[in-house]
Amino acid sequence: MTKLFVDSDGCPVREESIKVACRNNVETFLVCAGGIRPYENPLVQIIFVKEGLDSADDWIVENIEVNDIAVTPDIPLAGRCISKGAVVVKPNGDILSDNNIGPILASRNLNMSLRESGIELGGPPPYSKSDRSNFSSNLENIMKKLISGNS
C-alpha cells in the first residue's frame, strides 16, 4: 500500500500534501525535528526526530518502500528514496524518478562545487502559486497511479 513521507521542516506544501493524501486514503508521515501541531486525522502521523544533520532524511529512508512517495526539495534525499523504489515530488511539482535523478544529482553536485570555489550562482526562483498548483496536481496524479498499480 502506498504511503506518503513528507520532509516537513520548512515544507511549503505540508497542508497540500495532507489534503491530497487524505482524499486518497493514504497513510502520511510528517517527519520533522519539531514545531508541528498534531492532526486529528488518523491517517496523519507526526514523526519527531532528533535535531541533527540528516536525522529526518535517515528516518524517511529507513521507512520508505517501493511505490511510496516522498515530498522533499532535498536532491540527495530524493536520490536515496528513489534507490529504494519510491517516487519523489518536489514542492514545485517536479516528479523525480529513476528516469531523471542521475542528471539532477550531477547538476546539484556541480553547482555545489562551483559555489564552494566562490562562484555565485544565485538561488532558486521564489515559490509561486503555479508551483503550489503544479505540486497538488502532480501529487494527486502520481498517487492515483501508484494506488491503482500502474507505477
Q: What is the pLDDT of residue 113?
A: 82
What would the mean pLDDT of 34-58 be, rounded to a whole number?
90
What would the mean pLDDT of 11-16 be, rounded to a whole number?
96
**Count of CB atoms within 10 A of residue 44's CB?**
20
**Count of CB atoms within 10 A of residue 97's CB?**
14
Does residue 151 register a pLDDT over 60?
Answer: no
Q: What is the pLDDT of residue 132?
A: 95
Q: What is the pLDDT of residues 84-132, one digit of tens each?
A: 999 999 999 999 999 988 888 887 778 778 878 888 877 778 889 999 9
Look at residues 46, 85, 83 and name the one whose alpha carbon lies nearest to residue 67.
Answer: 85
Q: What is the pLDDT of residue 150?
A: 67
What is the pTM for the complete model shown?
0.89
Structural contact between residues 65 and 86, judged by C-beta atoms closer than 8 angstroms: yes
Does residue 40 register a pLDDT over 60?
Answer: yes
Please give the helix or strand (H or E) that residue 70 lies within, else none. strand 69-71
Cell of 55: 536525522
Q: What is the pLDDT of residue 51?
A: 81
**Count of CB atoms within 10 A of residue 59's CB?**
19
Q: CATH code for 3-147?
A: 3.40.50
Q: What is the pLDDT of residue 121?
A: 77
